[in-house]
Homo-oligomer: A and B are copies of this chain.
Amino acid sequence: MSETTEDIMSATYRALCAHGFADLTMQRIADETDRSKASLHYHYDTKEELLRAFLDYLLDDFESRLACEAADPDERLDTFVEAVFGPAEADDDGDFAVALLEIKARAPFSEPFRDRLVALDARMRETVAAAVRDGIEAGRYAEVDPDDVARFVVTAINGSHVREVALDESPAEARRLVEAYLDRTLDRRSEPEVPV
């Protein structure tokens, strides 16, 4: 990604946090950079086009946070949970969660938004399902349906997001319950059993 793109994308992130999705304008994004609004329009014809690029950027960012070289399925699940629940930008304070929920609420009216949200969801579910599948094959996890477990975990994560925004609830509550669900459902132990 070019420095210009990176610059515009992080300005979009900050503008979304500051103004929310409904009040986002090209001018407000430009105000978060050293660039003019005209310069932004040189790169992106419309606000819609810029926002589509921004959702692609989010997807890439999420993929890079998921990247886990480990073969160990426990480690891969932990990396996933941390990528989803771990602190985002330091100056965020939940503002981005608010903007992202506005974007999700707009998805029924925007095919390009929906496509990107569907892709992000598929990526999340695949990550969980693959780790669960490998854990089962290695004889480490209980014989469950990896796709069902993945769908339920991601559904709970979606719920955690809406609870953070609508009810001002800390995502730590959902994180604890998702981890307990994985431990219990997969019958995985936090420590290997040591013979006495």
Contacts and interface: CB of A to CB of B under 8 A. Distances in A.
B155 A177 contact: yes
A162 B158 contact: yes
A113 to B, nearest CB: 8
18 contacts: A101-B101, A101-B104, A101-B105, A101-B162, A105-B105, A107-B167, A108-B165, A108-B166, A114-B168, A117-B166, A117-B167, A148-B180, A151-B173, A154-B159, A155-B159, A155-B163, A156-B159, A161-B162
Contacts of A166: 104-105, 107-108, 114, 117
> Chain A binding site: helix, strand, loop or mixed by DSSP?
helix
Contact of A162 (B162, B167, B181): B162
Given A101-B105, A155-B177, 8 more contacts: A98-B105, A104-B162, A105-B105, A114-B168, A118-B167, A148-B180, A151-B177, A156-B156
A88 B109 CA distance: 22
A168 B111 CA distance: 11
Contacts of A114: 166-168
Chain A, interface size category, equals: 35 or more
Contacts of A158: 158-160, 162-163
Interface of A: 20, 22, 98, 101-102, 104-105, 107-109, 114, 117-118, 121, 148, 151-152, 154-163, 165-168, 173-174, 177, 180-181, 184-185
- Pairs of residues from A and B, 10 with the lowest C-beta to C-beta distance, nearest first: A159-B159, A158-B159, A155-B159, A104-B166, A107-B166, A101-B105, A152-B177, A158-B162, A102-B105, A105-B105
